[in-house]
Amino acid sequence: MKKLSRTQDKNIQVGIDVGSSKFCCAIAEIDPPNKNVKLLGVGSCPSSGIKKGSIIHRDKTIEEMEKAVTDAEIMADIKVNRSWLTISGEHVRGINTQGAIAIQKPGNPPSATDQEIRIEDVCKVLELAKAISFPVDRNILHTLPQEYIIDTMNGIKDPVGMSGRRLEGRVHLVTVAASSASNFINCAEELGISVDGLVFQGLASSIATIDEDEKELGVAVVDIGFGTTDIVVYLDGGV
């Protein structure tokens, strides 16, 4: 194989789609000012080490992942050193939860400044929403805000800069089996590829196929794969 002339920089993003029938790898260049995406290379390889979204043969998984990545590298003339991975399977689960905080600081007189919502307040609400009891073998993959409520005003998408006494956030959490996530990450790292993060396949499909108007009106995205079927339902802009 010829030596690749470019190395992966911060504007080059790589995604590896892990499927029960095949591995797919895509290399793209992101233009930061206008967020245009230019596809540079793609590669694929039949999969025999994955069944229903879980690894059943580690060595075959590594070999087939390497083949898909290598094909994409040759087309793009770029050496891949980091990537995003998709994940699916019956171990992926979702749950609705919520968190709330008081904006008015105790002991302070009421004022518009004291009650203004800052990004730190939003982060606290999201952290509280995630602070629920999970089995030790599960990790939170995505925290997807549905809406924020300020006092009695609901349906708010971005509360930063608004004023109120109480901020509540309703979110949807996507969780995965910790062992399954670790196994996929270890396979990529075996190839010298660091993993930027994992993405639920159904969520990735919905981002690629529907627009904001459809999310607001309500839509279900059904991703039918060889071994798994992922469903993501949107309403009022949230999952």
- Which residues fall within 8 angstroms of residue 133, CB to CB, at 6 or more apart? none
- Which residues fall within 8 angstroms of residue 101, CB to CB, at 6 or more apart? 121, 124, 125, 128, 166, 167
Break the chain down into helix, strand, coil percent, rounded to 5: 25, 45, 30
pLDDT tens by residue, the chain, 239 residues: 556 767 777 889 999 999 889 999 999 998 877 778 899 999 999 999 898 888 999 999 999 999 999 999 999 998 999 999 999 988 999 999 999 998 866 555 555 455 788 999 999 999 999 998 888 889 999 999 999 999 888 989 999 988 888 999 999 999 999 999 999 999 999 999 999 999 999 999 999 899 999 999 999 999 998 888 899 999 988 88
> What pLDDT score was predicted for residue 92?
92
Was domain 6-80 assigned CATH 3.30.420.40? Answer: yes
Task: State how far the Cα of 114 lies from the Cα of 52, in Å rounded to an integer.
Answer: 51
DSSP designation for 21: S
CB 98 within 8 A of CB 171: yes
Task: State how far the Cα of 84 lies from the Cα of 30, in Å rounded to an integer.
Answer: 14
Among 234, 235, 193, 224, which residue's Cα sits nearest to residue 85? Answer: 193
> What pLDDT score was predicted for residue 210?
92
Domain 91-176+201-239: top CATH class: alpha beta
> What pLDDT score was predicted for residue 25?
94
Q: Where are the alpha helices (DSSP H) in 77-165?
A: 119-130
CA distances from 58 to 15, 39, 187 (A): 20, 29, 7
* Residues of each domain in the chain carrying CATH 3.30.1490.110: 91-176+201-239
Q: How much is the pTM?
A: 0.86
> What pLDDT score was predicted for residue 163?
87
CB 162 within 8 A of CB 150: yes
Write out the H or E segment, with its range, that includes residue 4. none
> What pLDDT score was predicted for residue 2?
58
* Residues of each domain in the chain carrying CATH 3.30.420.40: 6-80
> What pLDDT score was predicted for residue 111?
54
